[in-house]
């Protein structure tokens, strides 16, 4: 959040972006990258803490899925604190993934 130029690039280069608002207050965001033919990657799903447990994250994911269609696989890397959340919205845990982490900011 402190690097506005990087945040601008993140948003401009997203394949899909869905947001949730309470009036003029941004309370949730879902962002995905895709090739539009095989898979899409849910790169960000965030809901303000005061708005969690109201189905906002689930609705944002449903909007992404509807936009992308059923022929694409949806994949994500979950934050450790969110590992229990994703099975609740029908994600299956994968045991066949690898990562080369980005360098820290």
Q: Which of 47, 43, 65, 66 is nearest to 56 (CA)?
A: 47
Note if the pTM is more than 0.75: yes
Q: What is the pLDDT of residues 26-82, one digit of tens each?
A: 999 999 999 999 999 999 999 999 999 999 999 999 999 999 999 999 999 888 899
Q: Which residues contact 83 (CB under 8 A, 6 or more apart)?
A: none
């Amino acid at each position: 959040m402190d690097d506005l130029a990087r945040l601008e690039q993140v948003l401009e280069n997203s394949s899909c972006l869905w947001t949730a608002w309470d009036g003029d207050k941004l309370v949730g965001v879902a962002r995905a990258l895709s090739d539009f033919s095989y898979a899409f990657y849910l790169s960000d799903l965030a809901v303000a803490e005061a708005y969690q447990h109201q189905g906002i994250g689930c609705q944002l994911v449903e909007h992404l899925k509807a936009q992308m269609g059923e022929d694409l696989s949806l994949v994500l890397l979950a934050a450790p604190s969110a590992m229990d959340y994703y099975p609740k919205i029908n994600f299956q845990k994968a045991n066949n993934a690898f990562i080369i982490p980005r360098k820290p900011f």
